[in-house]
A and B are shown apart, each in its own frame.
Chain A
Amino acid sequence: MKKTALRRNLLENAAVIIILAVALIFFIFPFYWLVSTSFKVYYEQFSYPPTFIPGQAFLTNYRIGLLDLWGIKGITDSSIVASSNTLLVLAIATPTAYSLARFKFKRSESLATWILSCRMLPPIAVAIPLFLLWKMIGWLDTYQALVLTYAAFNLPFAVWMMKGFFEDLPKDMEESAMIDGCSTFTAFVRVALPLTAPALVATALFCFIFSWNEFLFAVVLTRWTVKTLPVVIPGLVYGHSILWGAICAVTLVGVLPEILIALFLQKYLVRGLTLGAIRGA
């Protein structure tokens, strides 16, 4: 009896160690390859056997990628698009979320569901008509077209996130403010908003990351004037030779803000990724 229990424990521990080992190698190795390639001298990028450990920290890749190619442009444009989109989305989404959370009126549930369903749309279904519409008014390859398009995709997310946070907020404070003569609007701005400030920041960062990463619309709607990071990187590939080192350098610089944001977001990660469906641990 005891022996079988012991054996079972041993087996279980072995299984745990195997799962962890496989996961660690699977998840770390590609990332390691990205980091190491960004430091490889040109011949090390194309050697056989492949270079597993670069001989020196070859920083020229960073110079080529960021200055000589489009790296800086991509990072600047991604920052412009992502931050203006985030501000716009928050300005529109917070009042809506507040209204849906606080005032129950006819069909408010179905309105919320409708807003959520806009998030489920496959982007390609909207990409074709939006391309034609932006073209018609001469907005192809402009910042405003990309910002507005991303807004439509971030809005449902932001509304649902903020709606959840407002619902978590006890009503008392706003009610007593209203009794003291505050209007609905001042109660919202002066009482509810400051109390949900951390949630607002988390929602903003999620919107920021979405715009920072988005690829399909960026490929379809922009060309030369606007070049966000996800379209700059493929641009480095179709030259005469593939500049792996420079690609990895630009990518790594582009990934850094995301890793920082994610560290900051830890507490809200699950909630944000599931559109508020799971409140997280």
Chain B
Amino acid sequence: MRIKEKRIPILFLLPCIVTLLAITIFPLVYSLSISLTNYELGRPIELRFVGLENYWTILFEDSRFLIAIANTFIFVASTITIQFFFGLALALVLNRSFKGRSFIVAVVLLPMMIVPVATGYIWWMLYDVSYGPFNYILEATRLTTHEAPIKWLADPSLSLLGVIVTDCWQYTPFMMLVLLAGLQSIPVEPYEAAQIDGAGRWQTFRDVTLPLLRSAIAVAILIRTIDAFKIFDLVYLMTYGGPGTSSEVASFYTYLNGFRFFKMGYASALSYIILLIVTLFTTIFLRFVRRGER
């Protein structure tokens, strides 16, 4: 009886460990082994071990992959930057008390609660070249003409930007919410001390608010960045990577290889490279944050 009692903590852990091993770790090992083969679905080619050939092709010969990676980095960098500054500005404004504040907070949080698929379609409608409100407003204010409308998602130089704006609509509220929570957890004493020392507003913000907001900023940026690297649904729904490859991102390119071209071996290798990039980024970022804390 006593031994059994001792084992309970371990027994409690087992179901979780088994599930994770079965549904994440085992598949990952399996896909690592696939990535070393020429496995293709539905094509009668001889299954063969090819070593690191897939990885070599991806890194040195596949220019479409490079485009997808570049697009992913552009996407991540710009969405995080815009969402951070916009979210911070909103959080600072909403941290004051004024009439109608809670209404505005509720409105700002609205996009976060919408199914991402719906978000994609809402913005698709807004961007519509012939019937969308954006082009109508531009034409009504004579910024563009009816003959030469802006093509938004159908324009290779604007398609990725279109997805970026949509992502900002959906996730700026998240940044705002986390930063606002951080701001509200700062006690009043440091501000009083700063006032006594005669610090100006900017100085107070830089020397009091920002350092105390540090962990909230780190958490918000880390979570958003990891999620932004995964970007798939908006691209799939709004542009399908196009026109051409102008808005193709890493996850989407991997999806195409696996589930449209059925090159499972190649797609597995692609997914491993993405996994590596995300892991590398997370590790560096966390080390950077921890060093700052010391």
**A interface residue numbers (CB < 8 A to B):** 16, 19-20, 23-24, 26-31, 33-34, 37, 45-50, 52, 91-93, 95-96, 98-100, 102-103, 105, 111, 115, 118, 120-133, 148-149, 151-152, 155-156, 159, 183-185, 188, 212-213, 215-216, 219-220, 229-230, 233-234, 237, 244, 247-248, 251, 254-255, 258-259, 262, 269-270, 273-275, 277-278, 280-281
Interchain CB contact under 8 A, B131 and A274:
no
**Out of A96, A254, A281, which one reaches B13, CB within 8 Å?**
A96
B interface: dominant SS: helix
Could you list 20 further interchain pairs (A-B, Cβ under 8 angstroms) beyond the known A27-B107, A128-B258?
A23-B86, A28-B110, A31-B111, A37-B125, A45-B131, A96-B17, A103-B9, A124-B274, A126-B31, A129-B268, A132-B264, A149-B23, A152-B19, A155-B16, A155-B20, A215-B233, A251-B115, A255-B118, A274-B223, A278-B178
Would you give the 0/1 interface string for B111-127, flagging 1 where the beta carbon is closer than 8 Å to chain A?
11111111101110110
Interchain CB contact under 8 A, B268 and A184:
no
Interchain CB contact under 8 A, B132 and A50:
yes
How many angstroms between the C-alpha atoms of A105 and B13 in the bound complex?
12
Q: Can you spell out 18 A-B residue pairs with CB atoms less than 8 angstroms apart?
A: A28-B110, A30-B119, A45-B131, A46-B131, A99-B13, A118-B20, A122-B251, A122-B271, A124-B251, A124-B271, A128-B254, A151-B23, A152-B19, A155-B16, A156-B20, A244-B125, A274-B219, A274-B220
Interchain CB contact under 8 A, B264 and A233:
no
Ranked nearest first, the 7 interchain pairs of A and B with the lowest CB-CB distance are: A152-B23, A129-B27, A99-B12, A95-B12, A129-B31, A281-B184, A96-B16
**Out of B13, B115, B268, which one reaches A255, CB within 8 Å?**
B115
B51 interfacial contact with A, CB 8 Å: no
**Out of B8, B30, B34, B108, which one reaches A23, CB within 8 Å?**
B108
B181 interfacial contact with A, CB 8 Å: yes
B residues in contact with A103, CB < 8 Å: 9
B residues in contact with A46, CB < 8 Å: 131
How many angstroms between the C-alpha atoms of A159 and B19 in the bound complex?
13
A residues in contact with B30, CB < 8 Å: 129, 132-133
- Within the complex, what minimum Cβ distance (angstroms) separates B135 from chain A? 9
- What residue of chain B has the Cβ atom nearest to residue A126's Cβ? B27
Q: Which parts of B8-29 form the interface with A (CB within 8 Å)?
A: 8-13, 15-17, 19-20, 23-24, 26-28
How many angstroms between the C-alpha atoms of A33 and B12 in the bound complex?
49
Interchain CB contact under 8 A, A48 and B131:
yes
How many angstroms between the C-alpha atoms of A233 and B274 in the bound complex?
28
A residues in contact with B31, CB < 8 Å: 125-126, 128-129
Interchain CB contact under 8 A, B181 and A278:
yes
- Within the complex, what minimum Cβ distance (angstroms) separates B221 from chain A? 11
Would you give the 0/1 interface string for B226-264, flagging 1 where the beta carbon is closer than 8 Å to chain A?
100110110011000000000000010011001100001
- What residue of chain B has the Cβ atom nearest to residue A17's Cβ? B93
B residues in contact with A24, CB < 8 Å: 104, 107
Q: Which parts of B139-191 form the interface with A (CB within 8 Å)?
A: 140, 169, 173-174, 177-178, 180-182, 184-185
Interchain CB contact under 8 A, A255 and B114:
yes
B residues in contact with A100, CB < 8 Å: 13
Interchain CB contact under 8 A, A230 and B258:
no
Interchain CB contact under 8 A, B117 and A215:
yes
Interchain CB contact under 8 A, A34 and B122:
yes
- Within the complex, what minimum Cβ distance (angstroms) separates B22 from chain A? 8
Known pairs A215-B116, A278-B216; A122 contacts B258 (CB<8 A): no
B210 interfacial contact with A, CB 8 Å: no
B residues in contact with A269, CB < 8 Å: 109, 177
